[in-house]
Amino acid sequence: MSNEQLNAFLARAVSEPLLRKRLCSADAIGAVRLAVREGFDVTVGDLIRYKARATTWRLTDEELAVVEEWQPRQQPYWWQFIPDK
């Protein structure tokens, strides 16, 4: 996991309206693919872990990918609500 990579990707998304729009319409897999295409080393685990930082339990990227699969498809993701500047 790379907090630096995820934070850098999110910072770019906040500053670039088109990237932010694409991220806001993405599910977890799509958000990771977008980050990787933009040159950032981000995983589904990084995204889910970012949401759950306050928890004390630790899961592997593979376990978190399974948790993401359990989520309802219509569920909004936190990165879909990045506000405009």
- pLDDT (0 to 100) of residue 71: 72
Give the residue ranges of the chain where pLDDT is below 70: 1, 52-59
Q: Is position 83 within any domain?
A: no
Q: Is position 61 within any domain?
A: yes
- pLDDT (0 to 100) of residue 53: 62
Q: Is position 41 within any domain?
A: yes
Which pTM was predicted?
0.64
Q: Is position 59 within any domain?
A: yes
- pLDDT (0 to 100) of residue 56: 42
Q: Is position 15 within any domain?
A: yes
- pLDDT (0 to 100) of residue 58: 66
Measured torsion, CA atoms of residues 81, 7, 62, 58, in degrees rounded to the nearest 10: -100
Q: 40 lies in which domain range?
A: 3-74
Rounded to whole angstroms, the Cα distance separating 9 from 16 reads: 11
Q: Is position 52 within any domain?
A: yes
Domains in the chain: how many in total? 1
Rounded to whole angstroms, the Cα distance separating 85 from 73 reads: 28
